[in-house]
A = this chain, B = another copy of it.
Amino acid sequence: LTVGALRRAEIIAVGSELLGADRTDTNSLVITQGLNDLGIDVVAKAIVGDRFDDLAGVFRDALGRADLVILTGGLGPTDDDVTRDAVARVVGRTLHEDAATVDGLRQRFANRGLAMPESNRRQALVIDGAALVSNGQGTAPGQWFEWDGRVVVLLPGPPREMRPMFEYIAREVVAPRTAGEQVIRRSLRLVGKSESLFDEMLQPLYRKWAAGRPVIEPTILAASGMIELQLHASTRELREAEDALAAAAEDVAAILELDVISQSGRPLESVLGDLLRSRRLRLGVAESCTGGLVTSRLTDVPGSSDYVERGVVAYSNRAKTELLGVPEELIAAHGAVSEAVAVAMAEGIRRMSGLDVGLAVTGIAGPGGGTEAKPVGTVAIAVEGPDRARFARLFRFTGSRDMIKIFASTTALDCLRRTILRA
């Protein structure tokens, strides 16, 4: 049997130590990147311990789903190292000892003035029909073979050994067996509506993309009040696909307008920073419930001192009055969490500092402090400037204290962005 174009890969990391609570498998990330670059999808990944039956089961299942299976780990000299045996059993082949590999192992030990423990001969066992992959950094060679229209690859676990051997496999074994297609991706950041509402609004585009050429597939994800829309296309024509993705991003922007933060995956903080810098706007931030998080996020961006002039966390009413000039009577009349007070805070930071733009947030992060009229999660946001532009609105967020802080800060940054764009 010969192997057709490889499309679907599965990666199996072998080793009980990888199943600990403080370990992550990084080999699979390197392999994923290399395979994606060749247009191959990784459809699943697994981590399995050193038990023969468990590994044999996971490998058998992977063969049922994928046409390329890459295993890392379990090629060492000890009884724990069962990858060779388990793979051989599942594909119904036997193992033989490779004489040249045994000689090489003996030589390695001799070079250090040692006799090779006989257990090391296990590392020279090769699955019948498999080709060896030499290991420049360690003792265990890798191996690969074709089986029933699929390709199976065994590599050692230590990343330093695995990496150059995978590069060899990608170049010499996988690349010649691909359909010649690559996967191109583009990431859009959205804000202002729920994941499901965006999804609904984009349905007509999804249908158009599915019928187009190249087909563009969307994935939509939500995290901390931000939505990410990933578009990807498999192609042989790199330039054509890039143009198609750019056009698709424009299609999204035409429907969602200002809800699109960026068509390039750049985060809100950076996009807003560029906007402030390019318009030469100097910003002051007045925060209450977010406690400094808005200013901290703005200053996560290198060079943000170009546009962030100051921030004030007016956590007490006294601080709102003293630092921002918010009249005590205004707080008494409307409450500290109100559009009126947010506007006064934004005006205060802008006027008292002689800045171009003032941004203010005041709210109830909870878990205490809520009332029937203003429950936990009630947040007022105001923007004053640039020039005569202004914005004020009362929002209602739900979740824990830290989620409300995150939602409120994201929304505040987004309100500022929209106000500047509309000015």
Contact = CB atoms under 8 A, between A and B. Distances in A.
A264 interface: no
A33 interface: yes
Contact of A402 (B158, B300, B308, B318): B300
Contacts of A295: 291-292, 313, 315
Interface string A17-48: 10111111110011011001000011111111
A78 B195 CA distance: 9
What's the dominant secondary structure at chain A's contact region? mixed
Nearest to A50: B219
A160 B57 contact: no
Contact of A64 (B42, B57, B108, B138): B57
Contact of A292 (B77, B222, B293): B293
A319 B44 contact: no
Contact of A323 (B112, B287, B312, B316): B312
B43 A51 contact: yes
A16 interface: yes
Interface stretch (A196-204, A245-253, A413-421): A196-204
Nearest to A24: B24
A363 to B, nearest CB: 12
Contact of A315 (B196, B308, B365): B308
B300 A292 contact: no
Contact of A137 (B17, B24, B48, B400): B400
A65 interface: yes
Interface stretch (A113-121, A144-152, A254-262, A340-348): A113-121
A214 interface: no
Contact of A43 (B49, B310, B367): B49
A322 B138 CA distance: 38
A403 B137 contact: yes
A117 B199 CA distance: 10
A303 B366 CA distance: 8
Given A300-B405, A309-B316, A323-B310, A44 B43 contact: no
| A contact residues, range | 35 or more
Interface in A30-89: 30, 32-33, 36, 41-51, 54, 57-58, 61, 64-65, 76-78, 80
Contacts of A44: 19, 46-49, 54, 58
A58 B58 CA distance: 9
A294 interface: yes
A311 interface: yes
A220 B292 contact: no
Nearest to A287: B292
Contact of A119 (B200, B293, B367, B368): B200
Contacts of A311: 291-292, 311-313, 315
Interface in A251-278: none
Contacts of A315: 295, 299, 304-305, 308-311
Interface centre among A58, A298, A299, A365 (most CB of B within 10 A): A299
A163 to B, nearest CB: 11
A300 B291 contact: yes
A284 to B, nearest CB: 8
Interface of A: 16-17, 19-26, 29-30, 32-33, 36, 41-51, 54, 57-58, 61, 64-65, 76-78, 80, 108-109, 111-114, 117, 119-120, 136-138, 158, 160, 194-197, 199-200, 219-223, 230, 285, 287, 290-296, 298-300, 302-305, 308-316, 318-319, 322-323, 353, 365-368, 396-403, 405
Given A19-B42, A78-B199, A293-B296, 12 more contacts: A19-B32, A20-B32, A21-B29, A22-B221, A44-B47, A77-B195, A77-B196, A78-B195, A80-B220, A292-B292, A292-B311, A295-B315
Complex A-B, nearest 7 residue pairs according to Cβ-Cβ distance, in ascending order: A291-B299, A292-B292, A311-B313, A292-B295, A21-B33, A310-B319, A292-B296
